[in-house]
Structure 1
Amino acid sequence: MSCQPIDKWIKKYLKDIFYGVGRNSPYQLNDFVHVLMDAVEHTDFTNNTCVRIGGPTGETVFSRLQKADFEKIKIAFFEVLKPIYNLFKRLLRNRKVALAFDITDEPFYGKIGGFWIHAEQPVRGCTGCFKFLTISVVNRDNKLILGSLPVSRGADIVELIRELLQQAQTFVHPEILLFDRGFDNLELLACLQEAHVRYQILWRKQAWATKILKKMKRGEVKEVTKVRKYSKDKSKYTVKVRYVFIKKYRRFANGKAYDWVFATNTRQKSQHFYVDKYRKRWGIETVFRVLDNIQIKTTTKNEVIRYFINLFCCLVYNLWKIFCVLEQKISLKNFVVRIVQVIKSIIPADKPPD
């Protein structure tokens, strides 16, 4: 899988989303790819890229999204993901994979308004943020992003998780779903049980859970089953939850001992396996740190443009991971530079004669 076929996947993503480029347009699809990839390489604004390399301005690039919506962008991403994941799956030998869910914040600098800008300030100086729910494969070194959805203020997170899971299950068999304590939601537990999937959620240490931990001995593992109540749309529901408590477990001899509380429908041989299973989820944090190095900067409030950029960067990350496995290990930065060089070599051939 050389860099040249990879640029075709990027162009397919754009072609499936962008409003058609007219015959009289001075720009072709490769020009738009060049601007976006150069912005990725320099973690820059597309308008700065236009000044640096020529080609369409950021406004011209994003004007091609005038007929796009969330669904169109999401489908375009999955259509590219399916064939490249089939290559990846061969390396996994069709084994089941652990999937992790997380919400990532993209800082916003400006006046907050509308349904899509949240009040949280993830970095100093920002006034708010856009949020995206992400699902990723987190098996060892094999980490891929399987999908992402924008999160509005007051969004139904459980429904978004259900949507991403259903899409992912069309081409991957999850061994287990992993969630951090931000997802300790009784409605989510009911949804996962209904879907008949294995799950493990790090649960917040609420007052009742703290009391149980205080009575336990160091290194002890305890299971507690509770029937919990929750409300939705003015109706009341119940869900049966099995909690696993682990008291002062030290994963490594020189490490710190921690208390753990999980909500899970799996049974492991010992506390070691519960903790190690959950530690796979930490791989998604690594993914986000890497993605921070290839962001396209923007000040727009337009949620469609934000979502397009989010999945574009996720696609570049996925293609890099596939390239590293199938071809050669290379840094993400060098991979992006190679793609830019390939696109630059193609662009002159696209230009009409003077």
Structure 2
Amino acid sequence: MKESLDIKVAKNSKYMNEDIVKSLIYVSLNNTSAESGSKDLAKDMDVPSPDVVLRRLKALDLSNVINALNKANMKLVKKHARDGMKMAIDYTEEPYYGKIDMYVTRNKYKSGADVFHTFATISVVGKVERERLTLYSLPVTRLDTKEEIVRELLKNSPRPSLLLMDRGFFTIEIIKLLTEMGIKFIIPAVRNERVKRVIDDYIHGMMPAVFEYEMGSKVYMVIAKKRNAKEDDRPVDKYIPLVTNVKFDDPQEMVAVIPEEYRYRWEIETSYRVEDGFETKTTSRNFTLRVIYFMVGYILYNSWIIAEAETIKYREITAYVFRKTIES
């Protein structure tokens, strides 16, 4: 990673690029702040102060950081991520409490905030943890459209056999883009009035469970019963409408298979939760620093997943064991 982050240092500087990166990795592995982590690390070795680490990281060019860390990550995962794997694209948000600028996005109120630093990722999803890898990521700004973000993520990743996204990507523009790129996908439909009427018609026997649906491109809508549906739920709430361009000859097979395939998407949420345990804690409002912490966090997460996958025949490597091995 030290080769990726081009940290400028003066010729007479006491601390070099590798010293800054070593401190960065340490605080990320320990899910602590630069201030706390640097003090702990200083007990065993001569390391730069938190002020030096933060100052040099904040001075990095944002675009270069994004390109360099994505490149470093792809180099890490290239033997384990390939064309033809199930993948998911999603947004993850980190609450922001500072001044509003182009780098923050608005969404529903949570964790005491309604503005966030938002990151888009494309990840491999699988049934077991060692199959889940984050492939590429981009920070999302107010100027970015979802189509631009999705196109960029797909352009820089292996080609998925099936792409899974949540209903936030249920738009004509996204479906048109995926159709043009020849990407197979499953996306839940937004429950607008049109979709609610379709579900109601299905309940009353006026609509089949699988039918063609027009969204700028010809796709199929699959009406599937929710696993967790409750008896006292409204009839329309007992079903989930999924839009896909994956076609089966037997409609009943589509009803059985498409919802099960979509369940893989939830693995990206699990990955986000685990990746948080590898991310440096900060209250800084500096966007470049936030991007570095987020990306380094999932690179370390990927390193753990790959280490576990490559040694699974011998023993399981827990996140704790992985941290201690790297630190030593």
Distance 2:293 2:83 in 1: 31
Matched with 2:213 is 225
Q: Is the 8 A contact 2:221 2:244 kept in 1?
A: yes
Letter in 2 for 1:58: P
Is residue 2:45 matched to residue 1:61? Answer: no
SS in 2 for 1:129: strand
SS in 2 for 1:270: helix
Matched with 2:255 is 271
Distance 2:244 2:287 in 1: 35
Distance 1:202 1:101 in 2: 13
Distance 2:54 2:2 in 1: 11
TM-score scaled by length of structure 2: 0.84
Question: What is the deviation of 1:67?
Answer: 6.0
Matched with 1:330 is 317
Alpha-carbon distance change, 218 to 66 in structure 1, aligned in 2, over 3 angstroms: same
Answer with 96-105 or 23-32: which moved more.
23-32
CA-to-partner distance for each residue in 1:303-352, whole Å, 9 max, x for gaps?
222111111111001111100000242122321222112xxxxxxxxxxx
Alpha-carbon distance change, 262 to 118 in structure 1, aligned in 2, over 3 angstroms: same
TM-score scaled by length of structure 1: 0.78
Is residue 2:229 matched to residue 1:242? Answer: no
Alpha-carbon distance change, 122 to 32 in structure 1, aligned in 2, over 3 angstroms: farther
Letter in 1 for 2:63: E
Matched with 1:155 is 144
Distance 1:319 1:66 in 2: 25
TM-align CA RMSD: 2.7
Is residue 2:122 matched to residue 1:135? Answer: yes
Alpha-carbon distance change, 154 to 83 in structure 1, aligned in 2, over 3 angstroms: closer
Alpha-carbon distance change, 18 to 218 in structure 1, aligned in 2, over 3 angstroms: farther
Q: Is the 8 A contact 1:107 1:122 kept in 2?
A: no
Is residue 2:305 matched to residue 1:321? Answer: yes
Question: What is the deviation of 1:154?
Answer: 4.4
Alpha-carbon distance change, 127 to 159 in structure 1, aligned in 2, over 3 angstroms: closer
Q: Please point out which of 329, 333, 340 is paired with 2:327.
A: 340
Alpha-carbon distance change, 308 to 270 in structure 1, aligned in 2, over 3 angstroms: same
Alpha-carbon distance change, 58 to 157 in structure 1, aligned in 2, over 3 angstroms: farther
Distance 1:30 1:69 in 2: 18
Letter in 1 for 2:316: K
Alpha-carbon distance change, 58 to 185 in structure 1, aligned in 2, over 3 angstroms: farther
Q: Please point out which of 195, 201, 204 is paired with 2:181.
A: 195
Q: Is the 8 A contact 1:241 1:264 kept in 2?
A: no
Question: What is the deviation of 1:135?
Answer: 0.7
Question: What is the deviation of 1:76?
Answer: 1.9
Alpha-carbon distance change, 121 to 21 in structure 1, aligned in 2, over 3 angstroms: farther
Alpha-carbon distance change, 207 to 95 in structure 1, aligned in 2, over 3 angstroms: same
Alpha-carbon distance change, 274 to 125 in structure 1, aligned in 2, over 3 angstroms: same
Q: How does 1:1-354 map to 2 (within 5 A)?
A: 13-54=1-42, 55-65=47-57, 68-89=60-81, 96-109=84-97, 111-120=98-107, 123-126=110-113, 128-141=115-128, 142-168=131-157, 172-217=158-203, 221-226=209-214, 228=215, 239-250=216-227, 258-268=238-248, 269-327=253-311, 328-341=315-328
Question: What is the deviation of 1:180?
Answer: 0.4
SS in 2 for 1:25: coil
Distance 1:122 1:148 in 2: 24
Distance 1:201 1:282 in 2: 13
Identity level (%): 25
Letter in 2 for 1:112: K
Question: What is the deviation of 1:223?
Answer: 1.1
Answer with 216-225 or 150-159: which moved more.
216-225
Answer with 289-298 or 317-326: which moved more.
289-298
Q: Is the 8 A contact 1:120 1:128 kept in 2?
A: yes
Distance 1:221 1:267 in 2: 13
Q: Is the 8 A contact 2:74 2:136 kept in 1?
A: no
Q: Is the 8 A contact 2:278 2:298 kept in 1?
A: no
Answer with 172-181 or 122-131: which moved more.
122-131
Letter in 2 for 1:138: V
Matched with 1:345 is none
Question: What is the deviation of 1:279?
Answer: 0.6
Q: Is the 8 A contact 1:323 1:329 kept in 2?
A: no
Name structure 2 gaps, 5 residues minimum: none
Alpha-carbon distance change, 37 to 68 in structure 1, aligned in 2, over 3 angstroms: closer
Distance 1:151 1:95 in 2: 25
Distance 1:83 1:124 in 2: 35
Alpha-carbon distance change, 81 to 41 in structure 1, aligned in 2, over 3 angstroms: closer
Q: Is the 8 A contact 1:117 1:129 kept in 2?
A: yes
Letter in 1 for 2:217: K
